[in-house]
Structure 1
Amino acid sequence: MSLRSCLLVPARRAAFAVSCTAALASSSLGAGCGAGEDGAPLPGGSSALPGDAGPPPDAPACPAAASAEIEVENARGALAGTLEVPAGCGPFPAVVIIPGSGPNDRDGNSAADGSGSSAYRLLAEGLRDRGIASIRYDKAGIGGSVSAAPREEQEMRFEMGAEDAGLWVKELRGDARFATVTVAGHSEGALLGMLAARGTEIDGYVSIAGAGRPIGAILREQLASLPDEDRERAYEIIGQLEAGELVEEVPQTPLFMGLFRPSVQPYIISWMKYDPAAEIEAMKAPLLIVQGTTDIQVKLEDAELLADARPDAELVVIEGMSHMLKEATLADASQQAAYTDPTLPVVERLFEALEGFIPAE
């Protein structure tokens, strides 16, 4: 992605994405105040019911909406994230936003210069304004989470990203201000969320633009337009990696070294073990699958494969939503704007789908 997930359309995008590290971040904040019989804060933030004498004059009001910088620790170092908490006394439903691949920060922008779509920040802020808390974070090796990544690229494994996501789930689960915890994974993060759910208790799971096929199949599809010789060599390498074999001789071109350089091969091998359709079938939490019709990286077919694996899942197809969760046509200029313009809003239909699915209690 540039937020371009490893599900990239042009081969050069896939090369960029596969080399990126994966990891996630953490969360925590304060406590609740009074609420009415339906759980909603009473006017003025009071916990008093009709006929009561009312709160003492010095009773604290329910807090305003707030953002907090928080950290959790994995086995290597600190993961840094931003927790968004809605106005009111709670308890609130909460979401862990698991990012896709690429060297992007917690907001969905380039870790190098801050440019990008700000898709994750806009998503988190929109949820907050609708009464839903969230944590978004820098993946291990990115931004404030640099110390949380292995020191050498060849030590990186796909499962590490799922473990990091699980740390954030546990952080939210331990905070009394949050009534439920839902995992929402975007692109590559959708599969990481499935793996994270194996070892942590979640109240719901959302796949947003998540693949329905193993990464090996997707890479073959993305590289199908290469010249014959390059395509055949790429397919040979993919086959060896799927068999768990390291490939010593890799063509010294930007494409091949970006995708298949020796130091990234252990990570790719660890990723290739997983079939998203099989993983989602094994999940026990309620499921929402969301896919946009103008996503140039992930096909509607992928969402349908996930839905077929779990017939009880809710499938929401959003007309005109791009991979970056923003409205776009299939024209190059429109897609480019979706990836790079932070002033473009996240599509309203996505918020509607999430708000209707995320359990409040």
Structure 2
Amino acid sequence: MKICIRFLFAIICLLSVQLHAQIDGTWYSNLSTQGIHIPLVFHFEATENNQWTGKLDSPEQKSFGIPIDKVSFKNDSLQLQIKALGISYEGKLIEGQIQGVFKQGALAAKLDLDRTKKQVEEKKLNRPQEPQPPFPYHEEEVQFLNKKDSIWLAGTLTYPKNKTNFPIVVMISGSGAQDRNSEILGHKPFLVAADYFTRNGIGVLRYDDRGTAASEGDFSSATSKDFMEDVYAAVEFLKNDERFTSNTIGLYGHSEGGMIAPLLADSYKNTVDFLVLLAPPTIPISELMLKQQELVSLSSGIGSDEIALNAQINKAAYQIINQHEIDQIESLAENLNTYFKSVTAEYPEIGGSMGLTNEQYIKTMVSAYTNPWMVYFLKYKPENYLKNLELPILAIFAEKDMQVSAKENADKMKSIILKKNKKNEVITFSKKNHLFQTSETGDVSEYAEIEETISEEVLQKVKNWVLSLN
């Protein structure tokens, strides 16, 4: 039978268009994790040779057009990767909906993509503390080089007018890829804090994390130690500026940033003059993570039996991680794979409780716990670095904090630093959450709803303490 070549070509073209049309365009989703609901919007576009490009919007975080590094769609399976943010996604097209799993660092959550826009409702967020120009101080866009990793980091330097001998702080963000404002859910805590401090006579350098916004580098492959080198580059940049040769320089770190600051001060002796630590992890990180999981689970209404089971599973995984060196990722993956197979054998329903098959559960857990950042993080013991420091330290905790619990961490901090320097202070603010917003419950679901970005009471304490050192 003779087939018309032109007709066959037309059929092939039609099939190609239909395949492209399956995901071409805009998809909506709602990421739910730890009580927070974050609308996400994905845009996919077909290119030549059946390749794809994509972009991601996070409307509530005012982030639009984030490039997706990898978009693969084959046999109804979608794979995405955003390296700078440590994000990956795997899903399957089923009856017009993409059903899959979203991962970012240790976070793994079921995420379905739909073409129906009603899933995403953008809220108008009121942020009364966000400063507006003109500003009564100097503001400069700067770049500085991390010589160790050969990457340029971009940031903003603010400092008082008509004043020379003022202290300067370098701001260090918490976990996750963040811009220089440490923006989260419409809040810009580093911008608000930098404005407050600079108006009150303290210079501030804040910068985009590596691989984020205007900074170079690969965030997804970096550990806390790598981030420390970025902070060191920021400090050296200030020290090499002839305008600031007589200024004292300190570090202002939040959460993981409050862990990185002592690491730098211990690793590079006499590099900085003081530390301001907000919600700094102080107990061993493996213990902190278990406590965090317990508090967040309780606030989410998860039953005590399930909390106990999750703690048992994770504690055993942490022990396996602590038996391996940071460079033994391959053998760690093998041992974790064996371990999580035993978990699914003993608890066959565990994958389903997370909306995953057991195979997906095993893969997700092994992937999360072999991430270089996670391995370094879980093996970290803050006391090993804090105990060596003689410089002034202000450590601030929040009573309602569910991520770095105040009691355990503040008590440990007091036992380590209070006798080291008479200027050292450890304070716990009442009715404050992990972001140091005034909060009733401390639940992470409140972060976006609270209009306050960071308590002025906390900012005032930091300001007064830093200025008292001069």
Question: TM-score, normalised to structure 1's length?
Answer: 0.73
Partners of 2:453 and 2:362 in 1: CA distance: 36
Instruction: Quote the sequence identity (%).
Output: 22
1:108 touches 1:116 (CA, 8 Å); kept in 2? Answer: no
The aligned residue for residue 205 of structure 1 is 275
The aligned residue for residue 332 of structure 2 is 246
Please give the secondary structure, in 2, of the residue aligned with 1:136.
strand
The aligned residue for residue 214 of structure 1 is 284
**Structure whose residues are more often strand by fraction:** 2
Relative distance call for 1:171 and 1:12 in structure 2 (3 A) is: same
Partners of 2:37 and 2:378 in 1: CA distance: 19
Partners of 1:236 and 1:215 in 2: CA distance: 14
Partners of 1:157 and 1:140 in 2: CA distance: 11
The aligned residue for residue 148 of structure 1 is 217
In the alignment, structure 1 residue 314 sits paired with structure 2 residue 400: no
* Cα offset, 1:285, TM superposition: 1.1
RMSD: 3.2
Question: How many aligned residue pairs are there?
Answer: 300
* Cα offset, 1:188, TM superposition: 0.6
Partners of 1:130 and 1:189 in 2: CA distance: 23
Partners of 1:81 and 1:235 in 2: CA distance: 38
Q: Which runs of 5+ in 1 are unaligned?
A: 1-7, 21-62
| Mapping for residues 106-185 of structure 1, pairs under 5 Å | 106-110=180-184, 115-145=185-215, 147-149=216-218, 153=220, 155-178=221-244, 179-185=247-253
Partners of 1:318 and 1:120 in 2: CA distance: 19
2:400 touches 2:439 (CA, 8 Å); kept in 1? Answer: yes
Partner letter of residue 277 of structure 1? Answer: E
Deviation string 1:301-345 (CA, Å, 9 cap, x unpaired) is: 20221121112321122222221122111165xx544x2268524
In the alignment, structure 1 residue 303 sits paired with structure 2 residue 446: no
In the alignment, structure 1 residue 67 sits paired with structure 2 residue 136: no
Partners of 1:355 and 1:279 in 2: CA distance: 25
The aligned residue for residue 23 of structure 2 is none
* Cα offset, 1:219, TM superposition: 2.2
* Cα offset, 1:108, TM superposition: 1.6
Once the two structures are overlaid, the 10-residue window that deviates more, 222-231 or 119-128, is 222-231
Please give the secondary structure, in 1, of the residue aligned with 2:248.
strand
| Mapping for residues 1-361 of structure 1, pairs under 5 Å | 16=104, 18=106, 64-74=136-146, 75-110=149-184, 115-145=185-215, 147-149=216-218, 153=220, 155-178=221-244, 179-197=247-265, 198-199=267-268, 201-223=271-293, 226=306, 230-244=310-324, 246-248=332-334, 249=337, 253=356, 260-261=366-367, 264-300=370-406, 301-312=408-419, 313-330=424-441, 332=443, 336-337=445-446, 339-340=447-448, 343-359=451-467, 361=470
Relative distance call for 1:93 and 1:231 in structure 2 (3 A) is: closer
- The structure number with the bigger radius of gyration is 2
* Cα offset, 1:141, TM superposition: 2.0
Partners of 1:106 and 1:295 in 2: CA distance: 23
1:190 touches 1:208 (CA, 8 Å); kept in 2? Answer: yes
Partners of 1:258 and 1:84 in 2: CA distance: 42
2:211 touches 2:218 (CA, 8 Å); kept in 1? Answer: yes
1:138 touches 1:144 (CA, 8 Å); kept in 2? Answer: yes
2:433 touches 2:442 (CA, 8 Å); kept in 1? Answer: no
Partners of 2:401 and 2:442 in 1: CA distance: 11
Deviation string 1:56-94 (CA, Å, 9 cap, x unpaired) is: xxxxxxx95122111112224211111111232323210
Relative distance call for 1:258 and 1:355 in structure 2 (3 A) is: farther
Question: TM-score, normalised to structure 2's length?
Answer: 0.57
* Cα offset, 1:164, TM superposition: 0.8
Relative distance call for 1:227 and 1:303 in structure 2 (3 A) is: closer
1:70 touches 1:83 (CA, 8 Å); kept in 2? Answer: yes
